[in-house]
Structure 1
Amino acid sequence: MTLHLPNPDGTLRTYEPYPEPLRHTMPLPGSAFTSRTVFSAAHVVADPYADTTPDGPAAVDWDATLAFRRHLWSHGLGVAEAMDTAQRGMGLDWPTAAELIRRSAAEAKAAGGRIACGVGTDQLTATTATLAEVRTAYEEQLAVVEESGAQAILMASRALAATAKGPDDYLEVYGHLLRQAAEPVILHWLGPMFDPALDGYWGSSDLDTATDTFLEVIAAHPDKVDGIKVSLLDAQREIDLRRRLPQGVRCYTGDDFNYPELIAGDDQGFSHALLGIFDPLGPLAAEAVRLLDTGNTEAFRGLLDPSVELSRHLFRAPTRFYKTGVVFLAWLSGHQSHFTMVGGLQSARSLPHLVHAYELADELLLFPDPLLAEDRMRTLLKLHGVDQ
């Protein structure tokens, strides 16, 4: 069978899908990795039958959403829940995120899976918040995560970015939260390429100055910081930052452009992982890390390096819309029955973008059932008026 795929100029080209099934179809042993701690930031599956609007409350298909998390745990991956991959601030409202946290944490306990959950301030209107309201909002969400039994990830806050007048405000808010956290947390630095509202986070648009403030927060409370997640898409900056961390504080790469080299590391250290791209790459990523567990860095890179082209495509500017490609690949892979997203975000990427994502994923043999992926791709093309 062949597909007729559209070029950006409106012409069609013939594509021959790979007929081989996914080499990673069978779940790998679920035991923990020994060399790295690895989280997949997981997407949510929308309820396609819900009568919703883009700015209304999110409607989630809970069965499919939790099944996808069990899929990740079956491969030994941890789940980073209610993060930006789950469309926090882009369709997933706080009441639904709180329910997601509670349900996923309970599911993790039943499955024996590792889970960490995002703590933010998205119940606030960023332009009207005070510092006291920011602290209270963070505390409310931190309580939900801790009561669920999950590890907390203190996410960057749009409200704090809009309210803080300088580095001291960040030091005060984060110090307050870390002092009361029951267990060590992960601090998340999400760059403006993922969310333009976070420009100037840590009190400065100069990244060197912002890094100094970030490290000051950690240095004041090293016993309360399990690690940091860095999502700046700058490999050298991440390497420089992880070399300055206090002993025992981990660096979890969030760099979806350079993750193989950062996880592999160098003679001075390495990064663990908390990545959105490990949502569609879950089985492949797990197989690669198990090779790294044996000390075979070359095989790890050989398996994971070819996936970077797909990741860079999904996360290309405007990067914040990468979720559309992630959910699209979940649909093609059979993890959900539809290509619908909360907030209507399935329309955020063009047909040519999705077509190329399909080609790259197909070449990586990512699809458990290539014929299903081909059939669903054919359906999408027909809906867009592309004759087959």
Structure 2
Amino acid sequence: MTDATVLLPVDGDLRTHRVGEPGPWRKPQRPIESRIAYAAAHVVPRPLGDTSPGAPADLDWDTTLAYRHELWSYGLGVADAMDTAQRGMGLDWPATRELICRSGREAATVGGLLACGAGTDQLDPADVPAGARGLAVIADAYREQIEVVREAGANVILMASRALANAATTPADYLSVYGTLLAEADRPVILHWLGEMFDPALRGYWGDRDIARATATFQELIATHADKIDGVKVSLLDADHEVALRRALPTGVRLYTGDDFNYPELIVGDGFPGRDHSDALLGIFAAIYPAASTALQHLDLGETDRASEILESTRALGRHIFAAPTYYYKTGIAFLSWLNGHQAGFTMVGGLAAGRSVAHLCEVFALADRAGLLTDPHLAAHRMRTFLAVNGVG
């Protein structure tokens, strides 16, 4: 067996898979202009750190920050301290605070675009009192995190709050908390609507389980505070809903797609006057960043068909990584990071490396190869063989 081949399990048999060459990806020679694009980066634990569920996050800072520099080198912005970084799934607030501060310092050294999530995960939702007092506690928690993001020099992403989802009883409660925070904002922020497929604790966000009624509340908030909103990130995996919302946004408010299923057509656009495309704030971009950057460079040149072709070639990988249960998508992103040599081991805080099956990760490997996203074929094959052997395959 040569170094770039692997015996992969397929339909109950082991079949030889030869890893192909990476795609014709290139780093930009000038800033990308046609779209604003953030890749939501993951974090890497120390190899000998405690990754037990419930243990405080113990990060390998050099490796974690090197990954962010890799993304910046491809002309992408970094969205940090988001759900991709395991907020609410192993990454606690003390580690998140340090991550934001360190990422801010690193971004300043290269002029990298950085936006960070501000939420309320220093609170236990069960401990938040009911009524107006509880809403005030939640607003104060947001303020604490917003201040950390601002001091780091990053743009603020107002993340969805489990505490608010638990405490709010009406849409007006959401409008009150968010309205207060937006009125206080010293510069425009990004609003993040994260669907329950990413976090079941956010079911019924904006005060209603009916998406149409929840969207009406969301739009009311945006219309009232449009001057304080740079854009909205919507992660509902519903392209039709995103397009309708995008076309209805006030002038000057961007739609940052969070749709890791349908991003190719949403980013390339549909020709609708004035509202023909979405910008991007995507977890999948942390996995496909060489291809994503190259596609955006083609968009800058007006080469829409080539950009669409490149993004389309990654869609199957995105759909597989984000397949249900979607909240375990982070495992696939970390696995690809390991295969490509960006971290020493396939480990994740909170033990989340066990979040996907061996069969699922074998398909991640095969689809990444098909998309030309295994950047060192021999290393990827070696690591895949090691992974299979450790898991008793072969």
TM-score between both structures, scaled by the size of structure 2: 0.95
* C-alpha distance after superposition, 1:293-324 (max 9, x if no partner): 11111111111101100000000000000000
Whole-angstrom distance in 2 between the partners of 1:161 and 1:38: 28
Paired residue type of 2:336 = L
Q: Provide the residue aligned with 1:184 in structure 2.
A: 188
Corresponding residue for residue 67 of structure 1 = 66
Residue 231 (structure 2) pairs with residue 232 (structure 1): no
Aligned to 2:264: 260
In structure 1, C-alpha distance between the alignment counterparts of 2:51 and 2:234, rounded to whole Å:
34
Q: Tell me the equivalent position of 1:154.
A: 158
Q: CA deviation digits over 1:88-142, x for unaligned, max 9?
A: 0000001100100000011001111000000000011112212111111001000
Residue 333 of structure 1 is matched in structure 2 by: 340
Across the two proteins, how many residue pairs are aligned to each other? 383
Give the match for residue 363 of structure 1.
370
Aligned position for 1:23: 24
Which amino acid in the other structure matches residue 28 of structure 1?
A: P
Amino acid at match of 1:379: T
Residue in structure 1 matched with residue 216 of structure 2 by the alignment: 212
- Which runs of 5 or more structure 2 residues have no equivalent in the other structure? 129-133
Q: How far 1:52 moved relative to its partner?
A: 4.5
CA distance in 2, matches of 1:253, 1:166: 27
How many angstroms apart in 2 are the aligned matches of 1:46 and 1:117? Answer: 19
Partner of 1:345: 352
State the distance in 1 between where 2:249 and 2:141 align. 28
Q: Closer, same or farther in 2 for the Cα pair 1:118/1:302, shift >3 Å?
A: same
Contact persistence 1:115–1:150 (CA under 8 A): yes
Preserved CA contact (<8 Å) 1:4 1:12: no
Return the offset for 1:147. Answer: 1.1
Query: 1:251 maps to what in 2?
Result: 255
Q: Is the 8 A contact 2:51 2:348 kept in 1?
A: no
Map of 2:330 onto structure 1:
323
Q: Is the 8 A contact 1:146 1:182 kept in 2?
A: no
Alpha-carbon distance between aligned partners in 1 of 2:206 and 2:21, rounded to the nearest angstrom:
48
Of the three residues 302, 305, 309, the one matched with 1:302 is 309
Q: Could you tell me which amino acid in structure 2 is paired with residue 277 of structure 1?
A: I
Secondary structure of the equivalent of 1:279?
Answer: helix
Q: In angstroms, what is the RMSD of aligned CA positions?
A: 1.1
What secondary structure, in the 3-state scheme, does the structure 2 residue paired with 1:16 have?
Answer: strand
Give the match for residue 48 of structure 1. 47
Segment of structure 1 superposing worse, 353-362 or 264-273? 264-273
* Aligned partners of 2:21 and 2:374 also within 8 Å: no
Q: Secondary structure at the match of 1:344?
A: helix
Distance 2:282 2:22 in 1: 25
Amino acid at match of 1:386: V
Q: Distance in 2 between matches of 1:93 and 1:16?
A: 39
CA distances 1:62-98 after superposition (whole Å, capped 9, x unpaired): 0001100000000100000000000000000011001
How far apart, CA to CA, are the structure 2 residues paired with 1:188 and 1:15?
43
2:202 to 173, 182, 198: 198
Q: How does 1:5-154 map to 2 (within 5 A)?
A: 5-7=8-10, 11-24=12-25, 27-29=27-29, 31-129=30-128, 130-154=134-158
Q: Which residue of 2 aligns with 1:4?
A: 7
Shift of 1:22: 4.8
Q: Is the 8 A contact 1:332 1:377 kept in 2?
A: yes
- Partner SS state of residue 89, structure 1: coil
Residue identity in the other structure for 1:187: L
Decide which of 185, 205, 225 is 1:221's aligned counterpart.
Answer: 225
How far apart are the structure 2 equivalents of 1:16 and 1:222? 52
SS at match of 1:90: coil
1:119/1:141 contact within 8 Å kept: yes
Mapped pair 1:172 → 2:176: yes
Cα distance change on mapping 1:42 and 1:52 into 2, 3 Å: closer
What TM-score do the two structures reach when normalised by structure 1? 0.97
Displacement of 1:181: 1.2
Letter matched to residue 4 of structure 1? L
Quote the residue 2:284 is aligned against: 277
Query: What runs of 5+ residues in structure 1 fail to find an aligned partner?
Result: none
Over the matched positions of the two proteins, sequence identity in percent amounts to 56
Conserved in 2, the CA contact under 8 Å of 1:19 and 1:371? no
Q: Please report how far the alpha carbon of residue 15 of structure 1 lies from its aligned counterpart in structure 2 after TM superposition.
A: 2.8
Structure 1: how far apart are the matches of 2:22 and 2:117? 35
